[in-house]
Structure 1
Amino acid sequence: MNRKKALVVFSGGQDSTTCMFYAIAHYDEVELVTFNYGQRHSNEIEVAKSIAEEQGLKHHILDMSLLGQLSPNALTAHDMEITKEADEEMPNTFVPARNMLFLSFATALGYQIGAGTVITGVCETDYSGYPDCRDIFVKSMNVTANLAMDRNFVIETPLMWLDKKETWAMADDYGKLEYVREKTLTCYEGFIGDGCGECPACRLRNEGLNAYLNERD
């Protein structure tokens, strides 16, 4: 297992693309893994493929379509409107066990390819109430993966304590702010770049960008 080799959980969105540039800056070898779980827009996979190709990185795409069969949610049930009702504990975009399964499969792939580090862009600061984005969950998965495979993996979360403004600042530190802004797909409606501007993902992303640009300028 190579501590200098990292595997990035990669969706082609703002956070995972920023993590990709973080990995390129800190590791000798970087590979990407994208999960096809029946997400709302299949062009998310195409965006991830395109970025991986442009960066010259080996890209694994794993079939996780079973996630869409487990429970109804707005990311896999394409006819479901994205909402967060006042009495809901979390948005209906929450996909139960998604990050638990993603990290299980990512560490298994890391075992296969000899990557000592798995990097994921989950964030507790702007985590929308998703329980599987919390630091305590990631640490527990790290322990579980190490015990399950008898390897000393490190699951690294560079964005865990950053808000969206600070995530944009990180991309800018690597000289990649415009690349992340123009090439990535965060929008729940499937629009690349600045997105639709209306969905929760776009609002969070664009508010962070505007706050960072106003502070920088």
Structure 2
Amino acid sequence: MPSLNKTREEFYMEKAVVVFSGGQDSTTCLLWALERFDNVETVTFSYGQRNVSELKSAKKIAEDLGVKHTVLDMNLLNQLTDNAMTRKDMEIDGAGVVPNTFVPGRNHIFLSFAAIFAKGIGARHIITGVSETDFSGYPDCRDNFIKSLNLTLNLAMDHSFEIHTPLMWKNKAQTWEMAEKLGKLEYIRKHTTTCYNGIIGDGCGECPSCKLRKQGLDAYLAGGRAHV
């Protein structure tokens, strides 16, 4: 709990917003944030995603962890781009430099709206689960993009935002290790939705997201579980 001797500014500095999808990565980041900040809220974006069950997972996880949860309507993305994440009639194709599950501008837009939301509730810390190690070729998961956007948001709103990326240099095996050190590996495995087809938990086992998640878990378990 925060000290009663802290100034108003110190309380303000400790408030954080997690960009929250209800998936493995964002749930791990939420748990990471809860260990570091006195006041944490989550913001989830509804953008017509095919795995709509992630919205249900996000709501349930936020309730389980006692965190205030806000859902923002971003369906306008469907007007701007064709991709397999927002078009159920498009077959998922992981081939190529960038898979067709990439939603152009998604992280840019989501982080920008998260920053507006954060400023409105008196927070300057924003946490997101992007990773350059297991980024599937998505350009808006790279560290240089996050650093650039962080600077842009600070200039755009004259505010001292700090975007935190706890998973930036972790692969999926290391993310599972982090989940276990946080005491929530089995919870994350059971209650998060990472599957592109919207199957909660271990998922369909066939889509690129499920395969990446399983490969990471298998590698972590095979390498010996973390000492916690």
**TM-score bracket for this pair, using the shorter chain length:** over 0.9
1:36 matches 2:60: no
How far apart are 1:147 and its partner, in Å?
Answer: 0.4
How far apart are 1:84 and its partner, in Å?
Answer: 2.8
TM-score, structure 1 as length reference: 0.97
Instruction: Identify the residue that residue 117 of structure 1 maps to in structure 2.
Output: 125
Instruction: Identify the residue that residue 4 of structure 2 maps to in structure 1.
Output: none
1:215 matches 2:223: yes
SS in structure 2 at match of 1:30: strand
Given the alignment, which residue of 78, 86, 110 partners 1:76? Answer: 86
RMSD of aligned alpha carbons: 0.9
Per-residue deviation, residues 54-94 of structure 1 (Å, max 9, x unmatched): 11110010010011111110000111000133xx3310001
How far apart are 1:168 and its partner, in Å?
Answer: 0.4
Would the aligned equivalents of 2:85 and 2:101 in 1 still touch at CA under 8 Å? Answer: yes
Counterpart mapping for 1:123-138 below 5 A: 123-138=131-146
Instruction: Identify the residue that residue 171 of structure 1 maps to in structure 2.
Output: 179
Counterpart mapping for 1:1-217 below 5 A: 2-85=12-95, 88-217=96-225
Q: Which amino acid is 2:151 matched to?
A: V
- What percent of counterpart residues are identical? 60
Larger Rg: 2
SS in structure 1 at match of 2:223: helix
Long gaps (5+) in structure 2: 1-8
Would the aligned equivalents of 2:43 and 2:114 in 1 still touch at CA under 8 Å? Answer: yes
Give the length in aligned residue pairs: 215
How far apart are 1:207 and its partner, in Å?
Answer: 0.5
Long gaps (5+) in structure 1: none
**Separation (CA, whole Å) in 2 of partners of 1:84 and 1:204:** 12
